[in-house]
Structure 1
Amino acid sequence: MTPSAHAILLRPSGPVEPVDRRALGLAAAGVGGLGVAAVYQLSGGRIGIPCVLHATTGLNCPLCGSTRMAASLLRGDFVAAWNFNCVVLVLGPLIGLGVGYQLVAWALEWIRLVKLPRLRISPRAVNWSAKLVVAGLLLYGVLRNLN
């Protein structure tokens, strides 16, 4: 009897499937963003990455406030985090859960402890999801500048 592709397998053997490079890129961006937020928080807001759009036009881009939002989360101030950038506050943890699961599943298989089913998303779904997220961020960027 062969195990199905979606079964949990204890003490797996054989080659370990690598982590999708898109998940690794998202993980690197998330860790880098938290690092920037930590530096911002520890410096008392003196060291940060300025937004070029905001500096030149005075308009807020869809990601404006993300560093301050993450720094607020590090302080435990969820209300301030929501006010700085509510969209990234919602999307960040959702993406982090998916990427974190992929990394944990890979690590557990790599140390030969357990093989968990990996998240599989078709290229078409990835393409449409990316377009939807970009369109949503652009709409949020426009709407946040109307007031």
Structure 2
Amino acid sequence: MTTDVSPAPVERATRTSPPKGQLAWPALVALVAAGGTAYIVTHNPHVSGGTFVCPLFATTGLYCPGCGGTRAVYDLAHGNVAGALAMNPLFTLAVPLLGVLWVRWVMRLRGFVLREWPFPTWAGIALPAVILAFLVLRNVGPFASLLSP
């Protein structure tokens, strides 16, 4: 006798359609992301003067955790994952997670009941610590040349 051990299917809530305007925020986020990506794709940030310069880098010469993100978006949009990782590995690795979170947001608003993702307390400390460590390591120490854009 065999038993089916497949995960439980996603259940649909009783609500058939979201209240009016509830999907406006995810739509706005998607529109802004698509518009920003379209701008970056048409203005090569690898060329001097192609796009804007990070204000922190322009004033201090230090790379912030977001430095290289524009070039990473350009590289990802052109299918160059290795180039994007070289520009800003933290941002590049966060892109798929941000996509999954956006899809879950829309599914919840559409009435799907999804399993909760537990957010452990330590993660609230670890995330800022990783960003701060990335900031320091890309500006000083032996990893500076490896992590700088």
Cα distance in 2 between the residues matched to 1:13 and 1:32: 28
More helix by share: 1
Contact 1:36 1:67 in 2 (8 A): no
Q: Which residue of 2 aligns with 1:43?
A: 43
The 3 A distance-change label for structure 1 pair 73 and 13 is: closer
- Residue type of the alignment partner of 1:36: G
How many pairs align? 128
Distance 1:32 1:7, change over 3 A: closer
Return the match for 1:145 from 135, 139, 147: 139
> What residue number does 2:73 align with?
70
Kept in 1: contact 2:44–2:74 (CA 8 A): no
Give how far 1:34 is off: 4.7
Would you say the 8 A contact 1:60–1:141 is kept in 2?
yes
- Relative to structure 1, the CA distance from residue 75 to residue 15 in structure 2 (aligned partners, 3 Å threshold; closer, same or farther) is closer
What CA distance in whole angstroms lies between the structure 1 residues aligned with 2:115 and 2:50?
37
Query: What residue is the counterpart of 1:54 in the other structure?
Result: 57
* Aligned mates of 2:31, 2:120 — CA distance in 1: 22
Runs of 4+ in 1 over 6 A off after TM superposition: none
Pairwise CA RMSD: 3.5
State, as a whole percentage, how many aligned pairs show the same letter.
23
Q: Is the Cα contact below 8 Å between 1:66 and 1:84 reproduced in 2?
A: yes
Residue 90 of structure 1 is matched in structure 2 by 93
Aligned mates of 1:61, 1:31 — CA distance in 2: 26
Q: For structure 1, which runs of at least 5 residues remain unmatched after alignment?
A: 1-5, 110-115
Among 100, 106, 123, the alignment partner of 1:129 is 123
